[in-house]
Amino acid sequence: MDVLVVDHPLARARLTTMRDARTDNAAFRAALHELTVMLVYEATRDLPVAEERVHTPVARTAGYRLANPPLLVPVLRAGLGMADQAHKLIPDAQMGFVGLARDEETLQPTPYMESLPETLAGRPVFVLDPMLATGGSMAYTIRLLTDRGATDVTAVCALAAPEGIKHLEDSGLPVRLITASVDERLNDSGFIVPGLGDAGDRQYGAVH
């Protein structure tokens, strides 16, 4: 699996803000928004473009647009904090939604929402979720996409654990990963170490 770590100094600074336990919900969301711009910018770097003529005030020249904008799929809740920023960068993208909550005992994803186009053949998909921990939630989401014919999936994550990367690699699913960091490991509760805590709670407050 292709893994791109976006370690630009500005990305590292935003991630540091997100990691800091003193960062409040609003500042965490702001840092995730800004980091998302950098991750999506890199994720789109090699997408094919279509050429179209453009008239400047001075002359005619070549212009470009994305030939096949990706479907954006935030994984609720935490991925919602990446959705608007990704959409601003790719305004003509369609958006689908998947809602998952990880069971704190079994660490298995429990689905509660799914809103996706019926067929995804020939369409690139960007899955937006700040956290790739065990990889269970991402693998579940990607299977929803491949069941609809997707063959070109990009996981856009603020943080990844080696265990989650291995899970995706072993799954054989058609995915590449763009992340700002591959952290050390998971702890006994399935949290990324050093990580940043619960990305949903850090944005929206604790539910339990």
CB of 48 to ligand PRP, least distance (A): 29
CB 8 within 8 A of CB 179: no
**Is 4 or 101 the residue whose CB approaches Mg ion more closely?**
101
The response to whether 131 counts as a known ligand-binding position is: yes
With beta carbons less than 8 A apart as the criterion, state whether 52 and 64 touch: yes
> Of all residues in this chain, which one has the CB nearest to ligand PRP in the complex?
200
Residue 132 assigned to a binding site? yes
Nearest to ligand PRP of 119, 187 (CB atom): 187
Size of the site for ligand PRP (CB under 6 A): 23
Closer to ligand URA at the Cβ: 72 or 159? 159
24 C-beta neighbours (distance < 10 Å), count? 9
- Read off the DSSP letter of residue 70: P
C-beta closer to ligand PRP: residue 47 or 101? 101
In this chain, which stretch among 8-16, 60-68, 94-102, 169-177 interacts with ligand PRP, using CB under 6 A? 94-102
Q: Which residue has the tokens 């944005």?
A: 203
Residue nearer to ligand PRP on the CB measure, 132 or 178: 132
Site residues for ligand URA per CB under 6 A: 78, 131, 133, 190-192, 195, 198-200
Using only the alpha carbons of the chain, give its radius of gyration: 17
If binding is defined by CB under 5 A, does position 81 make contact with Mg ion?
Answer: no
What letters, b where the CB count within 10 A reaches 16 and e where it falls short, cover 60-69? Answer: eeeeeeeeeb
Task: By CB under 6 A, tell whether 198 contacts ligand PRP.
Answer: yes
The response to whether 129 counts as a known ligand-binding position is yes
Helix (H) or strand (E) holding 99: strand 97-102
Torsion of the alpha carbons at 201, 204, 207 and 208, rounded to the nearest 10: 30
Which of 137, 154, 179, 181 contacts ligand PRP by CB under 6 A?
Answer: 137
Q: 120 near 68, Cβ under 8 Å?
A: no
CB of 134 to ligand URA, least distance (A): 8
* CB contact set of 107 (below 8 Å; sequence gap of 6+): 133, 134, 136, 190
Annotated binding site for uracil: 192, 197-199
Name the site residues for Mg ion (rule: CB under 5 A): 198, 200
